[in-house]
């Protein structure tokens, strides 16, 4: 018999957008994911693609010594925005990773001279 409690994930998922108040937004979903989970996946993919594009633009701006300060500032603002998004994605994905099993962890090897 399937109980409702069996369908809910224990760990909430950090979503790639804040609440209207600017706080972290979490989703507690079923085991198979749902519409909001898929939407979050799509938003994360778009944020990562945007970050890649912004990084390329920033490289171009910074390589050009004649770039006006306003363009450099715009690139910096967008980079900060993208970094915030990417860090949120990393945190969200890290929270959803299973804890390593003790048998899977190898002790660090001793340094040899």
Q: What is the per-residue pLDDT across 43-74, written as a single tens digit (0 to 9) for each?
A: 999 999 999 999 999 999 999 999 999 999 99
**Would you say residue 17 has pLDDT above 60?**
yes
Residue 30: beta bridge partners?
Answer: 8
Distance in Å from the first CA to the final CA of the chain: 60
Q: Side-chain half-sphere of 109: how many Cα atoms within 13 Å?
A: 3
Q: Where are the beta strands (DSSP E) in 1-113?
A: 13-18, 24-27
Q: Is residue 36 within 8 Å of 26, Cβ to Cβ?
A: no
The burial of 103, by beta-carbon neighbours within 10 Å (0-12 exposed, 13-18 middle, 19 or more buried), is given as exposed
User: Mean pLDDT in the chain?
Assistant: 86
């Amino acid at each position: 018999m399937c109980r409702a409690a069996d369908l809910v994930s224990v760990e909430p998922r950090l979503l790639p957008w804040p609440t209207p108040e600017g706080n972290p937004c979490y989703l507690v979903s079923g085991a198979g994911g749902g519409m909001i989970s898929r939407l979050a996946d799509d938003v994360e993919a778009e944020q990562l693609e945007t970050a890649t594009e912004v990084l390329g633009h920033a490289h171009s701006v910074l390589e050009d010594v004649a770039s006006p300060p306003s363009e450099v500032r715009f690139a910096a603002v967008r980079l900060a925005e993208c970094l915030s998004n990417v860090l949120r994605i990393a945190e969200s994905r890290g929270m959803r990773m299973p804890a390593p099993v003790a048998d899977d962890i190898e002790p660090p090897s001793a340094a040899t001279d």
